[in-house]
Amino acid sequence: MIRKLFVLFLLVIVGFFLASVVVSVPFGAEKTIVGRYYLNNTIGETGGVNAVTSIVVLYRGFDTLGEVTVLFLAATGLAAILANTREKRKKHKEKPSLIMRVGTDYLFPAAIVFGSYIFLHGHLTPGGGFPGGVVIASGFLMLFLAQWHYKADELWLKVIESLAGMTYVLIGLIGLWKLGTFLGNFLGKGTPNMLLSAGIIPLIYIVIGIKVGSEMTGLLQNLRETTENE
Amino acid sequence: MNLVTLSYAQYFGLFVSLSVVIYLLGKGVPPIKSVLSFLSLLLAAYLFTTLQSTGQTTLLLLNFTFGIDILTKFFVWMTFGIAIIVSFVLVSNKELSPTFHALYLINVIATVFIFLSRDLISFFLAWELMGWTTFAMIISDGWTDKLKAARKYFVWSAIGAYFVLIGFAILISQTGYYQFEPILAHIGTIPTGWLIFAVALLVAGFGVKAAMMPLHVWAPDAYSESPHEFTGFFSGVLSKAGIYGVFMAFFYFAARFEAFNMLRIHGTSIFGYIMVWIGAITAFGAALIATNQEYGKKLLAWSSVSQLGYIIFAFGIADSLGMTGALAHALAHALFKSMLFIIMAAVIMRTGTDHLPSLGGLIKKMPLSFIFAVVGGLALAGIPMTIGFTSKWIIYEAGIHGGYIFTTTLIFAASTAAFLYYYRFVYSVFLGPLHEEHKEVKEAPAYYWISYILIAIPIFYFGLYPGKLLAIISKILDTYDLPSLQTYTATTVATPLGTFNGLLIGLGFGAALLVGLILYLIGGRTKKAASPTDKYLASEVVTNEFELHYAMDFYKFLERELHGILKISAQKFYEFFEEIVRFTADLNRKLFFCGNGQAYLYYLTIILTILIFAIWRINL
Amino acid sequence: MVSPILLIAIPLFMAFSVPLWGLIWKKLPRYIPFATFGMTIAVLVSLLPQLWAKGVISVVIAGVKPPFGINLVFGPFGAFFALIIQIVALAASIYLFEYEPPEPAEKFYMLFILVVLGATGMVLTGDIFNMFVFLEITSISSYALTAIRKDGHSAEAGFKYLLLGSLGSTLFLFGIALIYGSLGTLNMADIGARIGEMNPNLLAAAVILILIGMGVEAEMLPVNGWVPDAYQAAPVPVVSIFSGVVAKAGIYALARILYTIIGLESYASLLLIFGILTLLAGELAALRQKDVRRLLAYSSIGQMGLIMLAFGTVGFTAVIGGIFHAFNHALAKALMFFALGIMAAGVGKWDMDSLEGIGRVKPYTTLLFTIGLLSTLGLPMFSGFWSKLLIIIGMVNAKYTVYASLALFGSAVEVVYFARLLGKFYSSKISNNLKDAIPESKKIFSLLGMTFIAIFILAVGIYPDALVKWIAQGAYILLNKATYIGMIIGGAIQ
């Protein structure tokens, strides 16, 4: 008890200090040199009208590649740790209703299409590969919830995931080959506001969308199977 | 004209690669290893004569400097001499692994490089190299009971090396140089406090290797547990590297520094005074302990500690007599101690034990070994006509002349004790009745007695012609601008308190011994040998627990009288310290690596808070 | 065209592709790490002439110049750490040839490649947020690799690591956020140039958060509780990666941030205090340890403490020593763990008493272990001697004599337990567990790889010059913030 109080006390001190310090951070001020540069130059340099997307995919595209890897790692790591622990499957007491089963059958393609739309239009409208991928995975989640016997083919998931990841790196390498910089925008900028514009941004978003979608699906499938054997 | 001229680096590299060759060939063709290592040492000694007097090698952006002067030669030839003789003896030993022989070569070369190096970095490199190869040699046999001794040696030698390292680092940081010459030139710029600190660290660090009390605890164990033939080199020469280190630290650097010399009370350097005391106590204490040893190698090991105390004592006096005596005794000890250890090795080889009560009567089986044991003993006890007399005489005179009444008394007493333990050694091993199981024992092989003779030659030569030795030593001291003895001829040494003619007393003493021998041969033989169960029973209560053997409890009466002194043990202090470290270690492990995730987060919070307070204060 | 970016792109591509190789031949993934790191080492070596010619190779990504885009800095300091990482990784991947991986094997190899990739990214990046991303890659794969064996112990160890590691990265991110919030830039050189504009209190908070956050990976004292458990639980090749790759990337990041970004000596000397505490805690904890893996883990903590001390000294000699020691420790620890893995194979127990007399049963492997051990102890003829010597002399030069003495006390403790370990290994009394052990391992590739490391340790121990010249350049760049900033911002952009 005393120990807990002591920790609490310490945390208050730490919190107070951090708060007192954070107050002096000029958040939201126009001071950010980098931010101003991005806002002023996005369309001219990248051809993408969605500045956020341009930042994510081009200016800081390397971070995005890293984040994709982190997500990949999370899925892989989870699968690695949970592997071989999912033998028993518990009998469910109550079956989902017919409405749910039929409803999800119809909703699933819609979710896939919507997800694809999000990542295809990432350079034009808010959204992008990550949300798009998650929407696709949510389509699979519906299937997992409503149709117990549904199981995504792990081999295909694996292959798609691999190919998508490799394509992302390859796109970067083509940039290196053509322009001398990794992830360089080797396609034309095109006309802003058109679907086929902003160079490699849509390409990368497609790859990310597919990759995130398949990873999240695999992740959910893993979790679902392991929680069931409790 | 020399056939080859090697640079120092090539010289070093050649023998390191040769040791690899010995290791590899020794694996394939076992008998070749010892012959090869003997030949390599001969080659090393020859090539040493071809080395230029100075040399440099650039390594690690550092300029390693080497040089040879008369002091170097003195120590290097001592090293090579004993090393070659020991390696010659080792030829007869088939049991040692090729690893041992390979390491032995590196060990000798490292020791030589200690004396050759003229900069702190290469000195330290050679010093450490010598330390760990010795450790590896001790454990290369892998006898479980040796490991403890080896470990103790290794740890102590590391501690010594770390003292030395910090001392060196202070010298380097204070002067900005790491070669001897420029450090010497800038020694005046070092603040006195730093210099004293550095020299104290260096003397302590080298003192470990020189078995200076209270840093000696590793020595008896390591000496007695190392491979038997090798112990001669280990105790005779490797300890001299420590003596050399003390010499360099103290006389090469510190003594040239005026502020350092001003630390005097009644004209005596404080540092020197401390060393005199440490030396005297080491000499006396170790000699007392030696008298109470039941194992031959342990006895000789403690005797080594005691003899090294003499050298430290004489260094502390630091006048012409003291310096001369110290260097003379360094050589004397190397000679007679390696001889005694080789004899011990011969005895162990033939009988399989060095437990004194289990030995006895070997005079009939190993007469040559006995004779040379007597020679070694004469030198150890400082009897005229041996080198031991020369060195001890000068040391005594130095003590008396310097007015160190009490410590000199201790040194005298140590000498008496030396006689006692030496007597115990030679009596238990060679005299008295022969044990049943030793009926078939043969004399040591020719390798051994050839080496006895080789060592005995300088023992007698420098005993009968002390001037020849003093000529070398005086030259050394002159080179280093230290007070040297000038009043000697080939046979006579004139000191402030008296003059002695080594040849004359030597011959006189020899004649007396001869007369004694003749008398013994005529009349002594009629005496009947005592029965194995006889015991000197004066004031001893005989109980059934003890075997009634004369070598049991040889100096029981002494042990009883000195009980109080012997109980004061540095060992116990270190064990106490070890206990504290162990306790701290456990506490630390239980605290920081308790395996409780929650606790780790707790520490994280605490450290965050501490840091916040620390930094807040800086910035607010 | 060869570019430092390949050091990251190749492993990433290969890691993604591992499942596909598995489809071709089930055993193929086993050789993918070797192929990967063989390529990265080739790339690294082929970049060296360019590095010597230019002094630093700065590569921008997506054609956007820093500070607006992300850049990779292949300078002497980062490149040297990249080399350490690649060498250890290559050695570990050779070891993987004959190592029975924990299931699922494919995922194991992927994680293995990615942890090295993350560390390489950390030492090459010139952008602080990018460093965080790579830190995440490194640490998440490390958690998974710790727990991959799926017994209770590794799960526990993995969880502890996860707990401290994720907290650490959060703190680190918070620190970055504070810096970005007040300066509006993420490029390390740019931040370094503008650091004076920061509110000192804010900077202090950022430094604390970054120090503690990165300290988790660098095995710094109060946040290194995961180390012994993880070293004990993780598979052998992974452990060598922990000590040779992850910890080295952590210490690199600390040095880079404290020297180049913050650049205030008062903060760098924080490392001095943490370093000495880490060193003493690690060495003392190892003193009475029976399990050899835990013992080596504690010794690794101690060595990391020594490296921190060297960086905390802020002196040229000591920093050279620190970088050099990072190299030596990485190689020696990796060698020791590989050898230990082979020595303990078939025994199943890892405590000293079970392995007593192993030197008589498997002499060659034990010899290799001993070479690593002696190098760690810093004995002459082994590479560890030079680095320890340089660190101690550098520390005394900078008037930190007390710290140097304490460090040597730690070293003396190290001598005690390592001597005991060697004594056990070379004892002529052979433990019952070894009675029916195979005399010498038939793992040819592993032994060959280990022999190369051992020869390398000895070669560097006898002739350290070539390496030290490189290290000295790295130390120079590290200590001269202005030079680094000038090289990145002022030009030399490819």
Number of other CB atoms surrounding residue A62 within 10 Å:
28
Output the pLDDT for position B233: 86
The confidence score (pLDDT) of residue A76 equals 84
Looking at residue C329, its pLDDT comes to 93
- Strands C57-60 and B54-59 come out as unpaired
Range of the domain at B589: 582-619
Domain contains B596: yes
CA B132 to CA B154: how far, in whole Å? 7
Burial B340-362 (b: 16+ CB within 10 A, else e): bbbbbbbbbbbbebbbbbbbbbb
Q: Tell me the chain A residues in contact with residue B606 when contact means C-beta distances shorter than 8 Å.
A: 10
Half-sphere exposure of C477 (CA within 13 A, CB side): 24
Which of A22, A34, A185 comes nearest C184 by C-beta?
Answer: A34
Residue C324 has pLDDT above 90, yes or no: yes
- What mean pLDDT do residues B13-26 have? 83
What's the confidence (pLDDT) of residue B546? 44
pLDDT > 70: what percent of chain B?
Answer: 87
> In whole angstroms, what is the distance from residue B390 CA to residue B147 CA?
39
Give chain C positions within 8 Å (CB) of A21: 178, 199, 201-202, 204-205
* Backbone φ and ψ of C379, nearest 5°: -95, 145
Max avg pLDDT among A184-193, B56-65, B82-91, B136-145: B82-91
Query: Is B597–C163 a contact, with Cβ atoms under 8 angstroms apart?
Result: yes
The distance from CA B310 to its chain's CA centroid, rounded to whole angstroms, is 12
Rounded to the nearest 10 degrees, the angle between the axes of helix A201-228 and helix A154-179 is: 150
Closest in C62, C150, C181 to A84, CB measured: C150
Give the separation between CA A83 and CA B568, rounded to whole angstroms: 65
- How far B586 CA sits from the closest chain A CA (Å)? 23
Q: Answer yes or no: is pLDDT of C337 > 80.
A: yes
pLDDT the model gives residue B50: 80
**If you ran DSSP here, which 8-state letter would residue B96 be given?**
S
Residue A175 lies in a domain: yes
pTM of the shown model: 0.89
Helix (H) or strand (E) holding C125: none
Confidence of residue C432 (pLDDT cuts 50, 70, 90): confident
Query: Would the CB atoms of B612 and A3 count as touching at under 8 Å?
Result: no
Of the candidates C482, C303, C484, C251, the residue with the CA atom closest to the CA atom of residue C410? C303
DSSP assignment of B261-309 equals HT-EETTEEHHHHHHHHHHHHHHHHHHHHHHT-SBHHHHHHHHHHHHHH
pLDDT of residue B538: 45
What's the pLDDT at C298?
92
Q: With the C-alpha atoms ordered C325, C330, C331, C336, is the resulting torsion angle positive or negative?
A: positive
The Cα–Cα gap between B169 and C403 comes to 13
**Which residues of C are less than 8 Å from A32 in CB distance?**
184-185
Q: Render the burial of B160-176: b for 16+ CB within 10 Å, e for the rest.
A: bbbbbbbbbbbbbbbbe
As a whole number, mean pLDDT of residues B473-489 equals: 79
**Per-residue pLDDT tens digits for A87-119:** 555 555 667 788 888 888 888 999 999 988 888
Q: What total number of domains does chain B contain? A: 1
Interface of B with A in 589-608 (CB under 8 A): 602, 605-606, 608
Residue B354, in any domain of the structure:
no
Domain of A113 in residue numbering reads as 37-77+95-228
Specify the pLDDT at position A37.
80
Summarize pLDDT for C268-289 with one digit per residue, the tens. Answer: 778 888 999 999 999 999 888 8
Q: Residue B236: in which H helix or E strand, if any?
A: none
Residue B489, domain member (yes or no):
no
User: In angstroms, how far is the first alpha carbon of chain B from the final one?
Assistant: 76
In this predicted structure, what is the pLDDT of residue A28? Answer: 65
Q: Structure tokens of C340?
A: 């230990």
Q: Which two tokens stand for residue B503?
A: 């040849």
Are residues C333 and C243 in contact, defined by beta-carbon separation less than 8 angstroms?
yes
- Which residues are CB-contacts of C177 (< 8 A; sequence separation ≥ 6)? none
Closest CA of chain A from B90, distance in Å:
59
The answer on pLDDT for B1 being more than 50 is no
Instruction: Identify which of A228, A224, A227 has the alpha carbon closest to the alpha carbon of residue A140.
Output: A224
Nearest-angstrom CA–CA distance, B3 and B5: 7
Whether residue C212 contacts residue C168, with contact meaning beta carbons closer than 8 Å, is answered with: yes
Q: pLDDT tens-digit profile of B506-541?
A: 888 888 888 888 887 777 655 555 554 555 544 445
- On whether residue A169 sits in a domain, the answer given is yes
Look at residue A194 and tell me if it is in a domain: yes
Cα–Cα nearest to C69, from C61, C59, C58, C78: C61
Residue C251's pLDDT is what?
92
Average pLDDT in the B113-142 region? 85
Question: Which pLDDT band, with edges at 50, 70 and 90, does A5 fall under?
Answer: confident
* CA distances from residue B495 to A154, B397, B596 in whole angstroms, order as listed: 99, 8, 74
- Do A107 and A189 contact (CB within 8 A), yes or no? no
Overall number of domains in chain A: 1
The number of beta carbons lying within 10 Å of the beta carbon of residue B116 is 26
pLDDT band at C86 (very low <50, low <70, confident <90, very high): very high
**Two tokens, residue B200:** 């104290």
Cα separation, C264 vs C242, in Å, equals 29
Interface of A with B (CB under 8 A): 3, 7, 10-11, 13-14, 17
Q: By mean pLDDT, which of B47-61, B237-251, B292-306 is the weakest?
A: B47-61
> Given phi > 0 = left and psi -120 to 50 = alpha, else beta, which region is A96?
beta
pLDDT digits (tens, 9 = 90+) for B393-449: 888 888 888 778 888 888 888 888 888 888 888 888 887 777 777 777 777 788 888
Specify the higher pLDDT residue, B54 or C187.
C187
3-class secondary structure for chain A?
Answer: CHHHHHHHHHHHHHHHHHHHHHCCCCCCCCCCHHHHHHHHHHHHHHCCCCHHHHHHHHHCHHHHHHHHHHHHHHHHHHHHHHCCCCCCCCCCCCCCCHHHHHHHHHHHHHHHHHHHHHHHCCCCCCCCHHHHHHHHHHHHHHHHHHCCCCCCCHHHHHHHHHHHHHHHHHHHHHHHHHHCCCCCCCCCCCCCCCCCCCCCHHHHHHHHHHHHHHHHHHHHHHHHHHHHCC
Residue of chain A minimizing CA distance to C20: A159
Residue C38 has pLDDT above 90, yes or no: yes
Q: C382-412: per-residue pLDDT in tens? A: 888 889 988 998 898 888 888 998 999 999 8
Cα torsion through C194, C196, C200, C204, rounded to 10: 60
How many Å separate Cα C68 from the centre of its chain? 30
Distances (CA, A) of C118 to A66, A72, B387, C124, C220: 9, 13, 70, 10, 20
Percent of chain B past pLDDT 90, that is, above it, reads 0
Residue contact C160–B597, C-beta within 8 A: yes
Any residues with CB less than 8 A from the CB of C109 and at least 6 apart, and which? C18, C29, C30, C32, C33, C96, C101
Average pLDDT over residues C411-434: 84
Asked if residue C380 has a cis previous peptide bond (ω within 30° of 0), the answer is no
| Helix (H/G/I), strand (E/B), else coil: C91 | helix
For residue A154, the tally of other CB atoms under 10 A from its CB is 13
Residue A201 lies in a domain: yes
- First-to-last CA distance in chain C? 13
**Within an 8 Å CB–CB cutoff, is residue C194 touching chain B?**
no
